[in-house]
Amino acid sequence: MKIGVLASQGAFAEHIDKLHQLGVEVVPVRLPEELEGLDGLIIPGGESTSIGRLMRDYQLTDKIRDRAENGLPILGTCAGMIILGKNSQNMYPEPLGLMDIEVRRNAFGRQRESFETELNIPVLGEKPFPGVFIRAPLIEQVDGKVEILARLADNTIVAARQGKFLALAFHPELTDDPRLHQYFLDIVAGRQ
Ligand code: GLN
């Protein structure tokens, strides 16, 4: 299995480490030709406008959208989740719009701009998952095709899946818990 990690900007190195720990081949993606032959792609956290601009400048945007529409599974974390969602906030460059989720950027007020909390994610089993939120976005609304995977105690949606696309408002790559990366690999392998 060969997984690409978009390596334009942000927390890509940590995703690469996690995937190595899980024993898969990893390709850091900065150029369109590096998308060839991938079985899945991770779009990391960072700054969504910078990532979007670099994707556009390096001719990655259309190629990623095209591969996704032809079945390439994608995991987006934090800024990567914003890139997967609809253009709820008139961002430029526009996000990919692959998932029917309305996303609000920098959604948590000052005190909680960055925080950690245990998340209940039923698809992973009973053990809570450590949620690391860093100037995180939230999912304001989803449509019927989207499966909600996790909410905060106040009901805010922070993880969702639509077919082969997985969106997380937080940073599983900054924890020791490999279960969400493994869950994504299971989607890639058709086991989930
Ligand atoms: N605040 C960032 C944005 O709006 C996302 C933060 C993150 O990826 N940790 O793009």
pLDDT in tens, the chain (192 residues): 999 999 999 999 999 999 999 999 999 999 999 999 999 999 999 999 999 999 999 999 999 999 999 999 999 999 999 999 999 888 889 999 999 999 999 999 887 899 999 999 999 999 999 999 999 999 999 998 999 999 999 999 999 999 999 999 999 999 999 999 999 999 999 998
Question: Scanning the structure block, which residue is given the tokens 């709820």?
Answer: 88
Amino acid (one-letter) located at 114: S
| 45 C-beta closer than 6 A to ligand 1 | yes
pLDDT at position 78: 98
CA 110 to mean position of chain CA atoms: 23
pLDDT at position 20: 98
Residue 118 bears catalytic tag: no
Q: SS3 of 71, please?
A: coil
- Bridge partners of 6? 29
| 2 C-beta closer than 6 A to ligand 1 | no
Determine if the peptide bond prior to 73 is cis (ω within 30°).
Answer: no
pLDDT at position 112: 83
The rounded Å distance from CA 163 to ligand 1 centre is 24
Nearest CA to ligand 1 atom 4: 105
Residue whose CB lies within 8 A of the most ligand 1 atoms, among 55, 106, 113, for a mutation test:
106
| 48 C-beta closer than 6 A to ligand 1 | yes
